[in-house]
Amino acid sequence: MNILVFAEVRDGKLKKSSLETLSEAVRLAGPLGGKVGVALVGEGVKAHAETLGKYGAARVFVAESPRLKYYASEAVAKAVVAAHQKLGSGAILMAATSMGRDLAGGVAALLGTGAAADCTGVSIEGGKVRARRPVYSGKVYATVAFKKSPAVVSLRPNVFLAKEVGGAAALEDLAVVFEDADFRSAAREVAATSQGKVELTEASVIVSGGRGLQSPENFKIRDELASVLHAAVGASRAVVDNGWRPHSEQVGQTGKTVAPNLYIALGISGAIQHLAGMRTSKVIVAINKDPDAPIFKAATYGVVGDAMEIVPALTQTLKKVLAS
Ligand SMILES: Cc1cc2nc3c(=O)[nH]c(=O)nc-3n(C[C@H](O)[C@H](O)[C@H](O)COP(=O)(O)OP(=O)(O)OC[C@H]3O[C@@H](n4cnc5c(N)ncnc54)[C@H](O)[C@@H]3O)c2cc1C
């Protein structure tokens, strides 16, 4: 079975989550003797084909247009479908970013097939694709099958390992003609909220703060710890609702879904809606003064104590350890 991957380019860079998705496609296609193709769609994106080849893409299908400077659902979906038709793929994979989640539905609708969003596992046996995905805010995992082919699957960022395998992809232009009707909905402008900082959904380390940090000023202890660890910063909804931190930092059911290698929760109770956004993190460290806080049930390591005392001490110690 051939597998098509959609590669997302943001600010001129290939998303790490797209490389993770590509590596997973390579891992799945290998035993099946299938080829992995990549749809590369946007403005001036062709140069990324070389990197995609290094990560195992055999064919890269390019659709470029100045009108695709920003994401346009229908136009990009049309190009992905054109790439799928060239490759003859049995599965179409993309990262479950905001763009990927939107695109998966559009591609599935165009092809009259089904889409599974935010998956943490994929298997292909006997030509049948199965996807594992968290449901009920991550309390349960469901394994879903597809009635029709191709299966459209978006993969949760930071769950799969991106691995360079060496190689070069054949570059093929997709002769897609974009029409005005393909741009009925399109982004006109992108206002970056996290310029210069590590993007939350791509980060491998995240330090998040909750209401237990007590005031907006105290978030500097979160930021200092994050800076030492080159981490992204997150927050609970309680602090976002209080206006202490912007919504772009919110982790959880109504915020961002993250799955870093390390998630440090400072003064966060661990409500189910917060856990929904971070419980698939590989290692969770919780600092909370209440030994019965639900976050400790999800945590790999827990420290019971006052974050205002522990965090500055931890930051100082890490500074010394990382400098030596
Ligand atoms: C539909 C819906 C959607 C929601 N979506 C989200 C979402 O996306 N993300 C989200 O986070 N929440 C979400 N919530 C809210 C969620 O239910 C919780 O209210 C919220 O997560 C609580 O935030 P918190 O843990 O910071 O605050 P609190 O629940 O007030 O917890 C603060 C914690 O800090 C500890 N603490 C206090 N002082 C200290 C100290 N000095 N040192 C260490 N620890 C201390 C306390 O023991 C406590 O455990 C949603 C709720 C609903 C109903």
Report residue 141: phi and psi, to 5°.
Answer: -105, 135
CB atoms within 10 A of CB 142: 12
Token pair recorded at residue 17: 């989550």
Give me the helices (H) in the chain, please. Answer: 16-29, 49-54, 73-87, 98-111, 219-228, 237-241, 272-278, 295-298, 307-323
Q: Per-residue pLDDT averaged across 286-293, rounded? A: 98
Looking at 21-25, 118-122, 184-188, which range is the least confident one?
A: 184-188
**pLDDT at position 226:** 96
Percent of the chain with pLDDT over 70: 98
Q: Per-residue pLDDT averaged across 123-129, rounded? A: 94
Looking at 9-23, 111-125, 167-181, 184-198, which range is the least confident one?
A: 184-198
Distance 170 CA to ligand 1 centre (A): 50
Distance 207 CA to ligand 1 centre (A): 15
Q: At residue 196, does pLDDT exceed 70?
A: no
More confident residue, 193 or 261: 261
Q: At residue 139, does pLDDT exceed 80?
A: no
> In this structure, are residues 37 and 89 in contact, taking their beta carbons and an 8 Å threshold?
yes
Instruction: Kindly indicate the confidence band of residue 195, based on its pLDDT and cuts at 50, 70 and 90.
Output: low
Considering only CA atoms, which of 169, 40, 136, 149 is closest in space to residue 94?
40
Evaluate: CB of 72 within 6 angstroms of ligand 1. no
Distance 212 CA to ligand 1 centre (A): 8
Percent of the chain with pLDDT over 90: 84
Distance 211 CA to ligand 1 centre (A): 6
Evaluate: CB of 37 within 6 angstroms of ligand 1. no
Q: Per-residue pLDDT averaged across 55-79, rounded? A: 96
Evaluate: CB of 114 within 6 angstroms of ligand 1. no
Helices 98-111/73-87 angle, 10° precision: 60
> In this structure, are residues 138 and 120 in contact, taking their beta carbons and an 8 Å threshold?
no
Site to probe by mutation for ligand 1, drawn from 217, 251, 253 as the one with most ligand atoms within 8 Å of Cβ, is 253
Atom 50, ligand 1: residue with shortest CA distance: 273
Evaluate: CB of 242 within 6 angstroms of ligand 1. no
Q: At residue 137, does pLDDT exceed 80?
A: no
> In this structure, are residues 184 and 76 in contact, taking their beta carbons and an 8 Å threshold?
no
Site to probe by mutation for ligand 1, drawn from 264, 273, 297, 310 as the one with most ligand atoms within 8 Å of Cβ, is 273
CA distances from 79 to 68, 74, 151, 186, 265 (A): 11, 9, 17, 15, 41
Looking at 39-43, 253-257, 264-268, 289-293, which range is the least confident one?
A: 253-257
Considering only CA atoms, which of 115, 112, 95, 113 is closest in space to residue 104?
115
Q: Rounded to an integer, what distance in angstroms lies between the CA atom of residue 161 and that of residue 129?
A: 20
30-66 confidence digits (pLDDT tens):
999 999 999 999 999 999 999 999 999 999 999 999 9
219-235 confidence digits (pLDDT tens):
999 999 999 999 999 99
Token pair recorded at residue 214: 């007590």
Distance 268 CA to ligand 1 centre (A): 5
**pLDDT at position 240:** 97
141-193 confidence digits (pLDDT tens):
999 999 999 999 999 988 898 999 999 999 999 989 999 999 999 888 888 76
**254 SS3 class:** coil
Contacts of 27 (CB under 8 A, 6+ apart): none
Q: Rounded to an integer, what distance in angstroms lies between the CA atom of residue 216 and that of residue 240?
A: 10
Atom 7, ligand 1: residue with shortest CA distance: 252
**pLDDT at position 296:** 98
Q: Per-residue pLDDT averaged across 78-101, rounded? A: 96
Closest atom of ligand 1 relative to the 272 alpha carbon: 17
Instruction: Kindly indicate the confidence band of residue 134, based on its pLDDT and cuts at 50, 70 and 90.
Output: confident
**pLDDT at position 320:** 95
Q: Rounded to an integer, what distance in angstroms lies between the CA atom of residue 44 and that of residue 7?
A: 13
Burial class (CB in 10 A: 0-12, 13-18, 19+), 188: exposed
Site to probe by mutation for ligand 1, drawn from 215, 237, 245 as the one with most ligand atoms within 8 Å of Cβ, is 237
Distance 259 CA to ligand 1 centre (A): 19
Burial class (CB in 10 A: 0-12, 13-18, 19+), 320: exposed
**pLDDT at position 194:** 59
Task: Calculate the average pLDDT of the chain.
Answer: 94
Evaluate: CB of 269 within 6 angstroms of ligand 1. yes
